[in-house]
Structure 1
């Protein structure tokens, strides 16, 4: 039989004090005499006692847990966000309660119940496609909400946005400099606000410059969607440039262009992505892309946790063009 955790009652018995004295000893700011503290800490060390932080949180109005809600958690951009955010929370003495919203469109009740049962002090909704109903439920129940790359028409929500318009502008200018004459803009069929902003801004700028633009959107935001886009679009030999609104689709687009469609990149086809995921710099791709700083994004989320309730902030994460090997010089 597995040994059970040491309880505060056992510590109190070993130290010869009350259970409430043990609780006060391990509660920051609580009043306890030096002698009692010494006895409790000595007994706790001897028994191997550890504080039940989860139980502490459930006894308070909120815990040190921060709920993180996301769909498509395997996508490289989402995974990188989660990696850095969970580490940032840990360094602040807070814990990440990860909630996978992949199946939440049919029934979000289990997710909502978890959020409130664990007394999460805040909810962070990652980039992607989390259900709008999760957002509504959190706001209705007074849980602080921080949303990444989803612009809400609410005054009580912190919103952190990549500068999609500037990023699309940088991509358009770079393909213009490469003397592209007919370009494709590739989006998935998910219709996320981020993808729409990027595609629309890019299309406007290219058309203003007199460059033909072919729009393409279908499927999920995946590598395979990029493959499909290249197979269909590059049947037109006049297309000599492409802006894929995420790097993951751009990588699929590059592989199909090079290995199936016989295109030489960047000699007769220039390709730009967006996000600068780790795979974009791999030697087999060397993708030119629009980078948004994961560090700045993470710091913006952590700073939003400290804002007073009802005090909302909209913050843009700056972007830059990262020049690699997929656009003609």
Structure 2
């Protein structure tokens, strides 16, 4: 049977000090003499002792854990977001406790309740909408709740949103400038708040400009769904433009247009995505897309974690268009 972790009691015995002296040595700001500190640190090195940070946090009624809840974690945009967020947390002496909500069936309340049990000091929700009862419980327990690219009709929750409507408007104006006469807007069956905002703003702008719009939404938010959308929509030879609400959908749509439906891009059909994932810049795609700065989004989340202000903040991350080679 494998041996358990070295305990503080064993360190105390080796150093010839009390258990409380070991605890004070590894507690920032605690009072302990230099002589005792040297003895404890020497014994800890010899034994291979590591502090139990989780237990230490529970003793203080608050851990250094930041709970992060999300779905579709393998998607390039989400994985990059997690990469930046986890690095930012580590630099601040915090730890990321990641919970995959893929099987939560749109009810993420049980996952957030689990984070309460770990005494997480804050919770970042990347996808899924927490019910009001959970928001109330966060407030009652002093746990800061931050929603990313989701908006609740409340004034006591931190929200960080990309400017989806403006981004969709930019996409619409660009396709209008390309003289598209009939366009498609492609989203997935998940119909996340961000996807709905983007599709709605795009459709409104196009309709106001007298351009016909065909909506398509099916399957998961991924390449395969975008490919299927291209196959389904481009049977209509009049469709000469498409706005895909994520880049993964757009990349699938592009391949379907070129490979399956034998449509030239951008000569026959212009395509715009949203997110600017790394693959969008690959030479085989060179996708024109809407950019939301992940570094700015992450900085806003970290700022919301650190602020002492009441949780009534709505932070909007600006977007812009990056022109490549998929629009006339």
2:145 equivalent to 1:145: yes
CA contact (8 A) 2:159 2:315 kept: yes
Between the aligned partners of 1:183 and 1:216, the Cα distance in structure 2 is 11
Higher alpha-carbon deviation: 145-154 or 205-214: 205-214
Task: Please state whether the residue corresponding to 1:243 is helix, strand or coil.
Answer: strand
Q: Secondary structure at the match of 2:261?
A: coil
**Does the alignment pair 1:13 with 2:10?**
no
Residue 267 (structure 2) pairs with residue 270 (structure 1): no
Aligned to 2:42: 42
SS in 2 for 1:273: strand
Report which stretch shifted further, 99-108 or 319-328.
Answer: 99-108
User: Could you say which residue in structure 2 is the equivalent of 1:132?
Assistant: 130
Task: Tell me the C-alpha RMSD between the 2 structures.
Answer: 1.6
Residue matched to 1:95: 95
- Alignment map for 1:198-277 (pairs within 5 Å): 198-277=198-277
- Are the equivalent residues in 1 in contact too, given 2:106–2:129 (CA < 8 A)? no
Using the alignment, how far apart are the partners of 1:92 and 1:235 within structure 2?
53
Q: Give the whole-Å Cα distance in 2 for the aligned partners of 1:47 and 1:97.
A: 28
Contact 2:21 / 2:32 at 8 angstroms: preserved in 1?
yes
Distance in 2 between the 1:7 and 1:19 partners? 10
What secondary structure sits across from 2:214 in the alignment? strand
CA separation in 2, counterparts of 1:112 and 1:298? 21
Deviation at 1:255, TM superposition (A): 0.7
Do 1:101 and 1:131's aligned partners in 2 also have CA atoms closer than 8 Å? no
Q: State the shift of 1:310 in Å.
A: 3.4
In 2, the alpha carbon distance for the partners of 1:106 and 1:68 equals: 16
| Whole-Å separation in 2 of the counterparts to 1:108 and 1:201 | 28
Residue 156 of structure 1 corresponds to which residue in structure 2? Answer: 156
Match of 2:67, SS state, is: strand
Structure 1 residue 76 displacement after superposition: 1.7
- Who is 2:67 aligned against? 67
Q: How big is each residue's C-alpha offset from its partner over 1:138-180, in whole Å with a ceiling of 9 and x where there is no partner? A: 5324321000010011222110000011101111111111111
Cα distance per residue 1:18-37 (max 9 Å; x no partner) = 10011011101111122211
After TM superposition, the score normalised by the length of structure 1 is 0.94
Name structure 1 gaps, 5 residues minimum.
none
User: Unpaired segments of 5 or more residues in structure 2?
Assistant: none
Number of residues paired by the alignment? Answer: 325
Q: Is the 8 A contact 2:107 2:130 kept in 1?
A: no
The alignment partner of 1:186 has SS state of: strand
Q: Distance in 2 between matches of 1:171 and 1:286?
A: 16
Q: Which residue of 2 aligns with 1:294?
A: 294
Q: Distance in 1 between matches of 2:113 and 2:254?
A: 43
Greater CA deviation, 215-224 or 170-179?
A: 215-224
Match of 1:321 in 2: 321
Q: Shift in Å at residue 268 of structure 1?
A: 1.1
Q: How far did residue 2 of structure 1 move?
A: 2.5
In 2, are the aligned partners of 1:162 and 1:316 still within 8 Å (CA)? Answer: yes
TM-aligned CA distance change 1:65 to 1:87, over 3 Å: same
- State the alpha-carbon separation in 1 of the partners of residues 106 and 281 from structure 2: 37
1:182 corresponding residue in structure 2:
182
Q: Which of 87-96 and 268-277 deviates more? A: 87-96
Secondary structure in structure 2 of the residue aligned to 1:305: helix
Matched-pair contact (CA < 8 Å) for 1:138–1:144: no
